[in-house]
Amino acid sequence: MSTKPQINVIVRLEDDLQAQLEAACNVRYLDFDASRADLLAAMQDAEGILLSPRVRGDAEFFDASPKLRVLSTTSVGYDPFDIPEATKHGVVVCHTPGVLTDAVANLTTSMVLNLALRIFENEAYVRGGGWAQNAPRPELGLDTKGKTFGVIGFGRIGQEVTRRMQALGMKTIWYDVFDTPHPAAPPSEFRPLEALLAESDFVSLHTNLDDSSHHLIGAAELATMKPTAYLINTARGGLVDQAALTQALQNGAIAGAGLDVLEKEPPTANDPIYTLPNVICFPHIGSATHETRRAMRELAVENLLAVLAGKRPPAPVNPEVLG
């Protein structure tokens, strides 16, 4: 009988990463569309699981996983997993911070530039024959120099976005639940949330989603923003009250939004938000460069194998379980 630990994998992996797992574990590959019942049944004997944040790890999940020691997600965000429940069940949750910082900061930058310079409108104008017909051109865009960029969530990604915005000539300010920045953070001024919202020409979200940050941006916060300001969200859809945002965008309470995440993903076909003229919306691709996704999968495999081998994983969310 094999003494290798049983693990479940619900992530598509490269051959070499599969081989690495298979050398150390009995690997069961589960279908992405596996029913909840099939998933829970497969958790009976599993000591580890490698998954994406599309799977919900709640109390029911951990109760159905009596042997589970490690849950390793291919994401930095761990909002779908109930961390206190995991800790209660002695499960180490691991994630992938750091390796996706540049990719998300780049996508955020692309949104700022696309919104400021009206890139999509201009491209559509030319592609649609507008230039060839000498039709009236889309409105002019905005300079970034001298504008104020407010970051909500001054962690790794928020700091990297700040560096890029400073390179674009913007004044940067930040808000977080702490008001003393990390020593390596770029120089940038702290503001209370309301002051940041009122002062910024761009407000960009880079914070975790949890009970305390759910709908951090709602109708009142949107009303505090300048009517000329833009909201950018490359973090989590649940940080923003999407119904309130839709309204604010429709009635011109803010100028526009760049969204890589929505409250419901994928959105319903009749969700108005992604067709509004003052919105650019991407399908949650912040980390989806070839190299970054590979690095995330590598780190997730490393996290999982470390815990199963009784070693400290590189990126635990609840290290207290490790003792």
Nearest alpha carbon to residue 204 among 173, 181, 178: 173
By CB under 6 A, which span of 72-80, 105-113, 140-148, 152-160 interacts with ligand 8YV?
Answer: 72-80
Residue 74 binds to ligand 8YV (criterion: CB under 6 A): yes
Residue 234 binds to ligand 8YV (criterion: CB under 6 A): no
The answer to whether 47 and 7 have CB atoms below 8 angstroms apart is yes
Q: Decide if 236 is catalytic.
A: yes
Taking residues 88 to 127 in sequence order and writing x for each that binds ligand 8YV by CB under 6 A, - otherwise, the string is: ------------x---------------------------
Smallest gap from Cβ 169 to ligand 8YV, in A, equals 29
Determine which residue in the list 125, 284, 289, 294 makes contact with ligand 8YV, applying CB under 6 A: 284
Q: Decide if 284 is catalytic.
A: yes
Amino acid at 265: E
Which segments within the chain are labelled E, that is strand? Answer: 6-9, 26-29, 48-51, 70-73, 92-94, 148-152, 171-175, 189-190, 202-205, 230-233, 256-259, 279-281
Smallest gap from Cβ 286 to ligand 8YV, in A, equals 6
Chain CA centroid to CA 85, Å: 22
By CB under 6 A, which span of 71-79, 82-90, 119-127, 308-316 interacts with ligand 8YV?
Answer: 71-79
Residue 274 exposed, middle or buried by CB count within 10 Å (0-12, 13-18, 19+): middle
Residue 150 binds to ligand 8YV (criterion: CB under 6 A): no
Catalytic residue among 95, 118, 206, 236: 236
**Angle between the 101-117 and 156-167 helix axes, to the nearest 10 degrees?**
40
The answer to whether 83 and 317 have CB atoms below 8 angstroms apart is yes
Structure tokens at 275: 């067709």
Residue 76 binds to ligand 8YV (criterion: CB under 6 A): yes
Determine which residue in the list 162, 207, 213, 287 makes contact with ligand 8YV, applying CB under 6 A: 287
Q: Decide if 95 is catalytic.
A: no
Relative to beta strand 171-175, strand 148-152 is: parallel
- The residues of the shown chain that bind ligand 8YV, judged by CB under 6 A, are 52-53, 74-77, 100, 284, 286-287
Which positions are catalytic? 236, 265, 284
